[in-house]
Structure 1
Amino acid sequence: MFSLISNTYALSLSPVAMCLEELIPSNNSNFNLYSMLIRTALVFSTLLVGLSVPFFGLVMSLTGSLLTMFVSLILPAACFVSIRSGRISYFQIAFCVTIIIVGAVSSCFGSYSALSEIIEQLFG
């Protein structure tokens, strides 16, 4: 399980690091050193945020339940219906509406679960 978490963290950190590395001139002889310093600073900054924000995992759970369902289920189905309106069958519309409803319900359950955990940690 640890390797899955570390690989996911490295994959999500890489685009940020690459954008910052583009600011370094490519003909710089210390490019590798600067690259390591940037990535190390990013790791330590996320560590500091994780340690300083109370209930960071629960806040990320709330954010994930809201945004992940929206981006992965609701938005694609809604965009498909919007783009292809008039050229899709009623079955496709019904299927997309079903996907949107499942995404909205899942998002509500996930948000409720995360909020109840946050409230329990704060007041319980």
Structure 2
Amino acid sequence: MSLDELLPSRHLKSHIYPIMIRTLLVMSTLLVGLSVPFFGLVLSLIGSLLAMLVTLILPPACYLSILRGKVGRFQAAICIIIIAVGVVSSSFGTYSALTKIIENLRNG
């Protein structure tokens, strides 16, 4: 949709341009997926790093940072537990993805 918004307004009435843009995006994603040997493993590595960071680590860390002196002990403890769970989950996911990537590199 961001690429559709870059088109001049006179082209918006035509549906061919958005269809062409979306088709090219899907084709380029397909080409990248076919050219990278173990694309799924690379995505799982990125997902285990970034998904846990964005969903479990950064929100409570930002909350603690923004409300530095106003957070009670119970809230701070809950935030720290959530951050710890995120770090442990991210570590296990990253370790698992890296071992599978290394295993595939050695075998193939």
For Structure 1 versus Structure 2, the TM-score category normalised by the shorter chain is over 0.9
Where do 5+ consecutive residues of structure 1 fail to align? 1-17
1:103 aligned residue: 86
- Determine what percentage of the aligned residue pairs are the same residue: 61
Shift of 1:101: 0.4
The one of the two structures with greater contact order (alpha-carbon pairs below 8 A, sep at least 6) is: 2
Shift of 1:27: 2.1
Where do 5+ consecutive residues of structure 2 fail to align? none
Aligned length: 107
State the AA in 2 paired with 1:19. Answer: S
TM-score computed with the length of structure 2 as normaliser: 0.94
RMSD (Å) for aligned C-alpha atoms:
1.2
4+ residue segments displaced more than 3 Å: none
Question: What per-residue deviation string (whole Å, max 9, x for no partner) do you get for residues 80-111 of structure 1?
Answer: 00011111110111110000000000000000
| Conserved? CA contact 2:56–2:83, under 8 Å | yes
TM-score computed with the length of structure 1 as normaliser: 0.83
| Conserved? CA contact 1:24–1:31, under 8 Å | no
